[in-house]
Structure 1
Amino acid sequence: MTAGRLAGGRQRRDRPLAPGRKVRRYEGGRFVERIETVAGECATAMVYNGQDFAVLMTSPEHLEDFATGFTLAEGIVDHASEIEAVEIEDVVLGVEIRITIPAARMAALADRQRHVTAGTSCGMCGILSIERALRPLPTLPPAPPIPAPSIERALAALPATQTLNRQSGAVHAAAFATREGRVALVREDVGRHNALDKLTGAMARTGTAAEDGFLVLTSRCSTEMVQKAALAGFAVVVAISAPTTLAVELADAAGQALIGFARQGGFNIYTHEQRISAG
């Protein structure tokens, strides 16, 4: 198997860790500047014998290992020795992993209906091309800033609204909070993407407008969460865990304020800090 080669025979190295990013942190009732490291994320297209198969969001390290493990886990081949070549090509919007397998295996792959189950981390497993996975997002319009104390109030109130999580300890929540910090609508699911889809569906059914408040997520905030939030019209997204590099880039381009590490006592603002006020 040929692995770790770029087109033209160049050796590909894992991308370095993302450099520190300056963020504005709200803590103790005031804003301070600090440097945070943001986890890398890239759109990774799986291409077998020249045919698009799926796009997954991955960390950009050890992609040769990922190609082999994914191919085996999906039952595309039975043994790693059947993988004839792996080429990894950096493309404009992400990375293509080009995998060569025997013709018989490719024929079987083309015949079957694909059901990719890449855990609960992907959220884009039915998408076949990077262009579709990273479609342009709307530019969110200006709006009066959300007061930082409102975000703190919503974070404090959210646990009491998480009925399923109190019973099981195993589900995520997506919540709509008003500009005053009142948690007005909550949906829960074992999948963070599903929880957000449920919330936006409930908002559509009840006529609740995203611009009238902000989104709170009990999970990390990666690319697909930013995309879903922007398409729903949320100009402010608050996540209790960290964002990824690509999520930050997409939020910035869409005009969305992306907040991470939101806990009692403070939070980090990664993009569009003008959408958040001190009080």
Structure 2
Amino acid sequence: MSAAAWPDPAEAPPPPAARQVFRRVFRSGETTEGPRVLAEEVAVALSYDGSTHAVMMATPAELEDFAVGFSLTERIVEEPEEIESIAVLATTDGIDLQMRLRTGRAEAVAARRRHLAGPTGCGLCGIESLAEAMRSPPPVPRRMRIDASALGEAVASLSGLQALYRQTGAVHGAAFWRPAEGIVRLREDVGRHNALDKLAGALARDAISPAGGAVLLTSRLSVEMVQKAAVLGAEVLVAISAPTGLAVRTAEAAGITLVAIARADGFEVFTRPERLRAGPAARS
């Protein structure tokens, strides 16, 4: 798989991930003014062999990771090697991530596209039916055991590593953590789905196995986040916010240990608690 830049020098370069703006502040009875750094978002099209599959509002950074991760978690491809090339085409309207697929995979995607009934919402792109939206996630392996205290420390370390969040206060983070290594990869985006897709792409492109680690999210846990994590092969999925009921049922079906409402003083485990080593639990 290779990455190619847009060859036409007349095209605009991708915008920065953040930009400075001027604003006036009214607070505590006082008025001040000055600059503030804001997260950028642009329309990003994900195209396969010349046809657009989905358009997402995203942070214009780590776009090759986004292309690969989206393709994997949405099951467009099964292996990153099925993407033969990626071109990042920046225009005044947005960015087109144009991917060329291997012949067999390209034919399967084209056949799928012909059956699409219409546009779909964020996180459920290119689906054909309600049944596909509720597709069963692949089962994840059961190999790891983690000390609960170590997982808490991992969550606590996440915010300090989010450079774009520190600048803007307006992006989600997705990270992969291993007990002996700490945070292995971290990606940020204005969209929570995009952040997880970028993380998936970064792991795939760097040939990093998700075995023996946990995916950490700064967002809420909805069902499509669990589905994407299952495709990634994550045994443990952790978020600082609460899950939905469907997310819990989906995680249980996939064999994922679902940890949520992670705070400085602890967290709550909703499924498969046997992966976590801790003292005796007290019911609340």
- The interval holding the TM-score normalised by the smaller chain is 0.5 to 0.7
Distance 2:274 2:181 in 1: 18
| Equivalent position of 1:36 in the other structure | none
CA RMSD of aligned residues (A): 1.9
Residue 135, structure 1, aligned to residue 119, structure 2:
no
Identity percentage of aligned residues: 50
| Equivalent position of 2:59 in the other structure | none
Matches within 5 A, 1:229-240: 229-240=229-240
Helix, strand or coil at the partner of 1:128: coil
Distance 1:130 1:183 in 2: 36
Closer, same or farther: CA 192–198 of 1 in aligned 2, 3 Å: same
| Equivalent position of 1:164 in the other structure | 164
Distance 2:147 2:254 in 1: 21
| Equivalent position of 1:256 in the other structure | 256
| Equivalent position of 2:150 in the other structure | 150
Residue 206 of structure 1: CA displacement?
1.0
Helix, strand or coil at the partner of 1:212: coil
Gaps of 5+ in 1: 1-112
Residue 114 of structure 1: CA displacement?
8.5
Whether the aligned pair in 2 keeps the contact of 1:153 and 1:181 (CA below 8 Å) is: no
Closer, same or farther: CA 181–270 of 1 in aligned 2, 3 Å: farther
Residue 147 of structure 1: CA displacement?
1.2
Kindly provide the CA deviation profile for residues 98-145 of structure 1, in whole angstroms up to 9, marking residues without a partner as x.
xxxxxxxxxxxxxxx998585xxx411542311111222222222131
Give the TM-score normalised by the residue count of structure 2: 0.55
Whether the aligned pair in 1 keeps the contact of 2:120 and 2:127 (CA below 8 Å) is: no
Distance 2:184 2:172 in 1: 17
Kindly provide the CA deviation profile for residues 206-230 of structure 1, in whole angstroms up to 9, marking residues without a partner as x.
1111112100000000000000001
Matches within 5 A, 1:25-174: 116=119, 122-174=122-174
Kindly provide the CA deviation profile for residues 189-240 of structure 1, in whole angstroms up to 9, marking residues without a partner as x.
0000000000010001111111121000000000000000011000100000
Distance 1:164 1:277 in 2: 33
Whether the aligned pair in 2 keeps the contact of 1:151 and 1:181 (CA below 8 Å) is: no
Helix, strand or coil at the partner of 2:211: helix
Q: Which moved more, 1:223-232 or 1:139-148?
A: 139-148
Helix, strand or coil at the partner of 1:188: strand
Helix, strand or coil at the partner of 2:186: strand
Residue 224, structure 1, aligned to residue 219, structure 2:
no
Over 6 Å off, 4+ runs: none
Helix, strand or coil at the partner of 1:141: coil
| Equivalent position of 2:63 in the other structure | none
Closer, same or farther: CA 129–254 of 1 in aligned 2, 3 Å: same
How many residue pairs end up in the alignment? Answer: 164
Matches within 5 A, 1:142-221: 142-180=142-180, 182-221=182-221
Distance 1:274 1:223 in 2: 22
Distance 1:223 1:190 in 2: 19
Question: Which letter maps to 1:272?
Answer: R
Q: Which moved more, 1:251-260 or 1:122-131?
A: 122-131
Distance 2:235 2:229 in 1: 8
Question: Which letter maps to 1:138?
Answer: P
Question: Which letter maps to 2:215?
Answer: L
